[in-house]
Structure 1
Amino acid sequence: MVLITGKGGVGRSVMTAVLARIAASRGKRVLVTEIGEESDDYSPLAKHFGRSRLPTQPEVVAPNTHGAVLLARTGQEMFLKSVLRSGTIARAALGSDALRKLLSAGPSFREMGVFFQLLNYLRGNEFDLILVDMPATGHTLSLTGLPELLLRLVPRGPIADSLREGQSYLNDPKQAAALIVTLPETLPVSECLELIEGLGKTKMPVGGVMVNRLPVDPFTEDERSKLTPLVTQHHWLGAEQFQRPLLARRELGRLRDNARVPIFTAPELPHEGLIDELVATLGAR
């Protein structure tokens, strides 16, 4: 299982779709997922598979690829069904207004539902690779830190047993890892380094960092040395764009110096045909 995470706007959904395509082309049985709400009517990830949103249960969305949205209620029902040994009773329990209000009262209950749904997929042998397009950074840390948090409150019983089972998957680098997607810019790189530290505190393995939209420098070193004084002195239109490759190079270096995890890069490409181009570029590595 791979959790694709990072701050908003860095291209998490694109990378999830690209990795799914690459893995599927190599014969892997892939499940692509994202955390959603029942009220959602649009999914950035689903659009890469020709849909407005992913199904609530795994369905084929592309060759060798299934898709499903992770919903708190679905996971809560799965857990109650496993405890009560009856899907009918579980659905009836979740139909209770009082229980629904309780389960929606705090974020931990929502994360717990998502956690149990993921655990259900991990228990099976249907998929070789599960990709989770995570929401923004904080949600990732909430999910990876959930077992330790709740085990302090509920150390015994069926909930604790499931939490420990899920924790054994999350903390095993042979079975799970986080892939952090970032941009070669100052703030995204700083947040990426903070996220690596946060994931370490929850014992979640970090498989690597994908630096997305890395700009290609159209100038040679000699051309840059001649142009830089002119651009700096005259404040030409396009000066910021001229400096972008240098900024990207600097931030990529900072990341490599401090991340202590594998660093991958994806080039900046036109939006049209983006997925196909990235599949071809990254799949060849």
Structure 2
Amino acid sequence: MITNTLKNSAIRTGRSFDLGKMNLSQLWIAYLTYPTIILYFVLAIASYAVMVYAYTAFVPVAISIAAVVLVYPLVWYGIHRFILHGRFLYRMKWSATLWKRIHFDHHQDPHLLDVLFGSPLNTIPTIAIVTIPIGYAIGGLAGSGAAFGAGLTITCIYEFFHCIQHLNYKPRMRWIQLMKQRHVLHHFHNENGNYGITSFVADRIFHSYYPDARGCPRSPTVFNLGYDIEEAHRYPWVMEETGSPPRDRPDGANTTRNAA
């Protein structure tokens, strides 16, 4: 009884729950009750309320939303490839903990839900910085509300599909299967490609896309992002925060299960 209670609690909160051992129904519960996702929903509703309050014309609002939809994948690609996979953040003491939280932990064990979602302290300011100026330039206050709300909505969609890609579940739709396969390759074969989550258009444009394991050699740093034992001794702050040396293989679920 106690074990089941703890398990159900973990499903509801999403904290430290292994996606490799969850089914789709459990994911929906964990996702819809996760505090970060709830916060995104609340802020998105508030943003759309601002849009309605300041609304004067349909076209600027529509263009603001469309602009965010087009820009979002490119911005994510740039952040993912050049910042999250860059090696400069862990080499500075003040930013090492940030890098550990926003991406290193996720690659060390890709199945853990509580490190899959970004921290709102990092994600919300980033979304605001990217979307609000675009919306304001196009449609003033209403455009800002529409753009920020669109950015938050896209983030919620993105995070759900990101969960699907690490879930012990084979999607029925072919396009979701392909999306999942590409992302699994990023985590378990070579991290220097397939940076997209729901779209790999930017990967194709910037020549970082590979469709299968044959298209790219296996990377020895796919789980530690280059922060190996040698780097950890040279720049110890992430290792000190973790309390253990970086791992070359993740704990948790079998790494072959998500490749389906």
TM-score where L is the length of structure 2: 0.25
Q: Which has the higher contact order (CA 8 A, sep 6+)?
A: 2
Which of the pair is proportionally richer in helix?
2
TM-score by length of 1: 0.24
More strand by share: 1
